[in-house]
């Protein structure tokens, strides 16, 4: 069977509905084929993608250069991202 990968843009009526959908996307990974392979992301402009990439690279540098049990992740609404420090979960 050939590849059927196609991008689809979905426009939501309001931001509340969009955020509700985005918060529940983790549930797709637990579903059976073909839904488990669905990937969803924000439709970003080139400038937004560049800005996000810079922040992700900066967070990665902080994580690699800082000793301790912390993770650095980029969080926030589209265009208002910031680097957030999280404690690492220690598995027993």
Q: What is the pLDDT of residues 37-55, one digit of tens each?
A: 788 888 889 999 999 999 9
CA dihedral 31, 17, 14, 36 (to 10 degrees): -10
- Residue 45 token pair: 């402009």
Q: What is the pTM assigned to this prediction?
A: 0.65
- Residue 42 token pair: 């924000």
Query: In the predicted model, is pLDDT for residue 1 greater than 60?
Result: no
Q: What is the pLDDT of residues 73-91, one digit of tens each?
A: 999 888 899 999 988 876 6
Looking at residues 17-22, what average pLDDT do you find? 89
């Amino acid at each position: 069977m050939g590849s059927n990968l196609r991008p689809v843009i979905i426009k939501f009526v309001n931001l509340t509905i969009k955020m509700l959908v985005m918060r529940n996307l983790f549930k797709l990974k637990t579903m059976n084929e073909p839904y488990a392979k669905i990937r969803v992301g924000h439709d970003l402009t080139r400038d937004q993608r560049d800005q996000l990439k810079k922040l992700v690279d900066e967070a990665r540098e902080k994580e690699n250069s800082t000793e301790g049990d912390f993770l650095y992740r980029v969080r926030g609404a589209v265009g208002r991202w910031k680097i957030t420090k999280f404690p690492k979960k220690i598995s027993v």
